[in-house]
């Protein structure tokens, strides 16, 4: 999923969009890792600025994530993006 392009974002783009992602019951690492990437969009091209990963297991437990995510490429560190996440379950929590 992706946000809209911040056309006038320059060095300090901002995205304030709600994106809903389904979380499966499968608890393997690939289903508990959120991949975040930032792209530069020009008229005919899109270039990767950086990407990072967030382990969402703690977010699934606590319901909240508000922190900086480090973005990197093969060339190294490229900056950070602030990410706010809230987990809402579709069903009541299972009884212990």
27's CB contacts (< 8 A; 6+ apart) are 57
Helix, strand, coil share (%) of the chain residues, nearest 5: 10, 40, 50
| Helix segments in the chain, DSSP class H | 57-62
Nearest to 40 by CA among 10, 65, 72: 10
**Tens of pLDDT, residues 78-90:** 999 999 999 988 8
What are the sequence ranges of the domains in the chain?
Answer: 29-86
Record the pTM: 0.80
Count CB neighbours of 96 within 10 A: 3
**Tens of pLDDT, residues 1-35:** 999 989 888 888 889 999 999 898 888 999 999 99
- Name the one residue in this structure whose structure tokens are 């950086």: 50
């Amino acid at each position: 999923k992706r946000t809209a392009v911040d056309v006038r974002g320059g060095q300090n783009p901002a995205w304030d969009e709600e994106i809903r992602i389904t979380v499966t019951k499968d608890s393997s690492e690939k289903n508990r890792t959120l991949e975040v990437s930032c792209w530069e969009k020009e008229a005919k091209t899109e270039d990767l600025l950086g990407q990072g990963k967030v382990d969402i297991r703690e977010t699934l437990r606590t319901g909240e994530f508000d922190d900086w995510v480090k973005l990197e490429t093969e060339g190294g560190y490229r900056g950070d993006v602030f990410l706010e996440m809230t987990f809402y379950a579709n069903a009541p929590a299972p009884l212990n």
